[in-house]
Amino acid sequence: MIDFTNCRVIPGRAYNGANGSKIAVEYNGEAYMLKFPPSAEGRPTDLSYTNSCISEHIASSIFNMMGIRAQETMLGTYTVKGKEKLVCACKDFTAGGKRLLDFCSIKNTVLDSDSNGSGTELSNVMDTIDKQQYVSPTVLREHFWNMFIADALLGNFDRHNGNWGFLYDDIKGEAEIAPVFDCGSCLLPQADDKVMKKVLANKAELHARVFQFPTSAIKLNGRKINYYDFLSRAENEDAKEALKRIAPRINMGEIESFIDQVPGISDLQKEFYKAYVNARYDLMIRPSFLLATAKERD
């Protein structure tokens, strides 16, 4: 892994977000945001820090494998006060003068919306997508649902309105959909070795983490969406079309090979991540895809 400790810190760049510290550094002539893992203090886990940096790197890479443009990431280390910490280096996609406008900010510009920018009720999110004037509503709706299916595969419990959005070029006056970012809530980042061993040894424990939780941050009728229930009912046409687009792009062999090569993580972690993604694919994504395409196959 790369040691970023001696990289030049770029002044004047700061990043918001609640999960962990972040600094900007220059590496090989390019700007990267280093994400540090948040403390696990006060959480029911044996971890000193959560595995969110590992989740960030693996999940972002899997998004890219599925053809959904996501941030480029690397795992590395950074020493603070003599303590070496695992960090995720995220290539700064705002380099070149583009501004990141999150969906929460865009939602606030829709004056006749029934909710504020942070509201994640599905109907309100769809209404904002249709009414915003930054990019094609059709393209944005497709992107949202592609992202939803990938988040379902990876168990993302925190895809709220503040961690996806647009890049805006002030000189050209043009906007584009930003690469997917902030994926640290995928892949059960708070699972310690005890949890991983329990999940790998007990099929019921694994199934609970597919059928019951984690849920999406998006709400339906005021309740957070259960990914399995929502997709298996095959009632939402946008979701079904996204399954048809994304499910065929999921190559579990490629994903497993990638996880096997991730540096700085234990064999137990690799086995756990592979088992977790495989279970969510086999028990949720693939059956839902087959249901969504049943008429076409008939």
Q: What is the pLDDT of residues 222-241, one digit of tens each?
A: 999 999 999 999 999 999 99
Report the candidate in 35, 45, 37, 31 with the shortest Cα–Cα distance to residue 15. 35
Residue 17: the pLDDT is 61
Residue 265: the pLDDT is 94
Residue 70 Ramachandran class (φ > 0 left, ψ -120 to 50 alpha, else beta): beta
Mean pLDDT for 52-80 is 97
Rounded alpha-carbon distances, angstroms, from residue 294 to 14, 248, 258, 287: 49, 15, 31, 10
Report the candidate in 2, 5, 36 with the shortest Cα–Cα distance to residue 19. 36
Distance of CA 224 to the CA centre of its chain: 17
Q: What is the pLDDT of residues 279-298, one digit of tens each?
A: 999 999 999 999 999 877 66
Whole-model pTM?
Answer: 0.93
For residue 29, the 8-state DSSP code is T
Structure tokens at 31: 């700007």
Residue 42: the pLDDT is 55
- Report whether pLDDT(96) > 90: no
Q: Where are the beta strands (DSSP E) in 28-63?
A: 30-35
Neighbours of 282 (CB within 10 A): 12
- Report whether pLDDT(110) > 50: yes
